Structure 1
Amino acid sequence: MTTVSDASTSSPVNPVLATQSNDPSFANIWQELKWRGLVHVSTDEQALEELLAGDPVTYYCGFDPTAPSLHLGNLVQILVLRRLQLAGHRPLGLVGGSTGLIGDPKETAERVLNPKERVNEWVGYLRGQIERFLSFDGDNAARMVNNLDWTAPMSALDFLREVGKYYRVGTMIKKETVAKRLNSDEGISYTEFSYQVLQGMDFLNLYREHGCILQTGGSDQWGNLTSGTDLIRKVEGVAAHAIGTPLITNADGTKFGKSEGNAIWLDPKLCSPYTFYQFWLNTSDEDVVARLKVFTFLHRDRIEELAAKVEAEPFRREAQKTLAWEVTSLVHGEDATQKVVDASAAIFGGGDLAGIDESTLASATAELPTAAPGLGAAGPVGIVDLLVATKLATSNSDARRTVGDGGASVNNIKVSDVEATFGPDQALHGRYLLVRRGKKKMAMVDLQR
């Protein structure tokens, strides 16, 4: 199997990196991380603050390839990597080619093991995503590493003798997720039980090879994070550190980063820029300030200004619009974000639709009502049939009245002739008809569907 090594990056440079900076109003990066709500649990706080305020240190965060894309929970960790890099420290982005073959234990059930070839493919996908958020230039240039590179050559006997002997089963079974699984009907396999040992070995290897002394991750990974710090202390006699970020939840207690049961992925093929932008735009007033702190590089004075506007003028939703622009630009680029904004204005504001590219148009109108397949199979479709087929009108007579009263439009052009017909020549991209009744009722017809 071909693995991804820690060679220099070949991914395109993200121009947004050049605009990012930490907030100079804080005494140090530790204070900024605390203010942004990014520290839920950690090793010695005072030692960490002194460490991060001093000379550059090497630190890492790991990402397992359990899917072909990272999601918003992973983005929290990536941005912590970037904030520490902006403070002068040296990041290692680890993609788990070996740990991804096993899977971090879930609280509910055993993971399904993915084929090795698929995991290796996903390693490449995740590496490319992570690289876009880090700088690979300068004295504190980032490096990418793959734990399969040092795990694969090791025999089972070497693993047990050189690493396993430092672990005590009594301590391992007290880890929160392991304890829950042991008390469940499902139980836990030795494979998943060993995950924390592998992650600890990663930290030890990175300490030896790169002088890495800090690991970051989600607070739900705390047992795995401290597995590494404990191992380094036992083997090398060195105090390594860990930071666990809080799990992000919404103000109502629901899980953050889910949209109708689906994760918000960073890959535009799995979650379009339009859907991504709308997710952030729909952030509640109760959550938007916290999201600005975690997911943007806006400084404290600007976030406090937006917080005041949430209180004084919530109907303007300036904080949500700013959040949506900042995060979508960060992940998908400013050009893609501007296309999304323009598409929303054209569709919901009645502007010119002709300039919207096909993929953005399809994403922006995906949730609109439509007609049954085959409506345009027999040739151009009349306006009356369009209104009835999309249920914007209850009957032919209702549709005719709507047209006669000036309440019907197709692709934002008012239709006044009840005999008007529409085919590919009048359709957007040769196939789409945005049918509207009044200002708010809309449907999208795909003539090729």
Structure 2
Amino acid sequence: MNVLEELEKRGFIENKTHDKELTDYIETGKATCYVGFDPTASSLHVGHLIPIMSLAHMQRHGHRPIALVGGGTARIGDPSGRTELRQMMTYETIEQNVAGIKKQLSHFLDFSDGHAILANNADWLAKLEYIPFLREIGRHFSVNRMIKFESYKQRLNSDEGLNFIEFNYMLLQSYDFLNLFDTHQCRLQMGGSDQWGNIVAGIELTRKMRQETVFGMTFPLITKSDGTKMGKTAKGAVWLDPAKTSPYEYFQFWINTQDADVAKFMKLFTLLPLQEIQEVESIKDAAINQAKTILAYEATKLAHGREEADKALAAAASMFGAREIPATLLPSSTVPRKAMRTEASVPSSSMSVKELEQGIAAFKLFQMTGLCASGGEAKRLIKQGGASINGNKVTSFDQIVTPKDIQEGSLLLKAGKKRFHKIEIND
């Protein structure tokens, strides 16, 4: 099975160009492909996992992936999928974001000895001269055709319209493809479905300027079985940066997968064999919960490493009870099969006894620890009976917490059924 067949069976492919020629290219030897990542934040999030995992599969099949960080294109902003102009970032912010993203990609891809390439399009786009660029590149683009692409059409029909600086984005992304073809013989660009117009434009530019055939592939928008967008929670994005979303919270995000999505998400977000995942499609009850543990463990291991995955599994066991996983269930997984009894690593913070001596209202503790986004949310949680401290339900929002509530040197706050925060109390 070649990598295109595997990506197809796992659910990665929505559309692709030159179907037969692309298959021939993949099967003739070591192919080079790329995906672009927009550094609009210092961290990638779960919504970026589809393109990241596609590159990981390409590498596992012996091909060479290029992770292109858009340090240059981020200076103007991609209008794709947007109804308004992106906020302009300083060059310093962009560079900081690029550094953070490169570090995260290294968890999924092996960049040693040229097995994968990290590139930043600022290295060539920042050096372009406007008049030569218009003469050499701009003349190959038809404005009439550009505005028919969905990414431009949406903006042209919006109240804000399309800014001229964004109108150039397609030319720059197309130039990226041309440049990567020239420097690395890269013939395949992959991206989200909203990038189809930009990818096709890059294919045509390379054909016109180099008389060569290159290829494109897009990924579908992944939704959960209830129709909601993958990666979104009540608290917002689920980040790959452990400082933004702790490994334990990341683990819990996957544990909370709906039963109907477990096999689907295993295909997309783990490297477990397809044959083993197919067996998960028919299991239920206790077995499906065991499968969720494996999904959470494997996804956390990819993003944060095995040590953090072990800690998150142990933390979950300490909170919800140890769960033994049979050796016959997804045997390729490296999840510890026996119940783990190591120290938990739930999100935590510290506080002095002196701070508690005058008493703190319970709702304020839930807000301070981030279990609730605001005081109002904390009050609603308590009113609905969803808050407890050291196993004791909080009965009123203005209930005063004092040193008398400390157990074993800490306060364990619980919000709802599955969110915890431990406050370590110092002398």
Shorter-normalised TM-score: what interval?
0.7 to 0.9
Does residue 88 (structure 1) correspond to residue 62 (structure 2)? The answer is: yes
Q: What's the secondary structure of 1:376's corresponding residue?
A: helix
Q: Which residue of structure 2 lines up, in the alignment, with residue 265 of structure 1? A: 239
Say which is worse superposed, 315-324 or 283-292, in terms of deviation. Answer: 315-324
- Aligned-pair Cα RMSD in Å: 3.4
Question: 2:292 matched to which residue of 1?
Answer: 320
Q: For the residues of structure 2 that align with 1:309 and 1:257, how far apart are their CA atoms?
A: 24
Matched, 1:128 2:103: yes
* Distance change in 2, residues 1:336/1:252 (3 Å): same
| Aligned twin of 1:117 | 92
Alpha-carbon distance, 1:261 to partner: 5.1
Task: Tell me which residue corresponds to 2:44.
Answer: 70
The one-character-per-residue Cα deviations of 1:76-102 (angstroms, maximum 9, x if unpaired) are 111111111111111111111111111
Supply the distance in 2 between the matched residues of 1:374 and 1:264 (Cα, whole angstroms): 35
1:152 counterpart = 2:126: yes
Per the alignment, residue 209 of structure 2 pairs with 235
**Alignment correspondent of 1:333:** 305
1:433 aligns with 2:411: yes
Written as runs of structure 1 = structure 2, the 5 A alignment for 1:273-352 is: 273-310=247-284, 313=285, 316-349=288-321
Change (3 A) 1:352 1:180: closer
Q: Structure 1 residues 62-71 or 49-58, which shifts more? A: 49-58
| Matched residue type, 2:344 | I
Aligned to 1:309, the other structure's residue is in SS state coil
**Residue 362 in structure 1 maps to residue 359 in structure 2:** no
CA–CA distance in structure 2, aligned partners of residues 137 and 143 of structure 1? 9
3-state SS, counterpart of residue 113 of structure 1: coil
SS in 1 for 2:348: helix
Give the whole-Å Cα distance in 2 for the aligned partners of 1:315 and 1:305. 11
For residues 165-220 of structure 1, what are the alpha-carbon distances to aligned partners after superposition, in whole Å with 9 as ceiling and x for unaligned?
11100111011021011011110101111111100000001111111111111111
How far apart in 1 are the matches of 2:27 and 2:103? 30
Distance of 2:303 and 2:146 partners within structure 1:
37
Sort the Cα spacing of 1:440 and 1:75 in 2 relative to 1 into closer, same or farther, 3 A: closer
Aligned equivalents of 1:352 and 1:194: distance in 2? 54
Equivalent pairs: percent with the same residue? Answer: 39
Task: Identify if the C-alpha distance between structure 1 residues 121 and 435 changes in structure 2 by more than 3 Å, giving closer, same or farther.
Answer: closer
The answer to whether the 8 A contact 2:348-2:424 is kept is no
State the AA in 1 paired with 2:4.
W
Is there any run of 5+ residues in structure 1 with no aligned partner, and where? 1-26, 367-372, 391-407, 413-420
What is the TM-score normalised by the length of structure 2? 0.79
AA paired with 1:112? Answer: Q
CA distance in 2 between partners of 1:186 and 1:150 (Å): 30
* Aligned mates of 1:134, 1:227 — CA distance in 2: 28
Counterparts in 2 of 1:279 and 1:170: CA distance versus 1, 3 Å: same
In 1, the alpha carbon distance for the partners of 2:58 and 2:104 equals 18
- Where structure 2 has 5 or more consecutive residues not aligned to the other structure, the ranges are 323-338, 367-387, 393-401
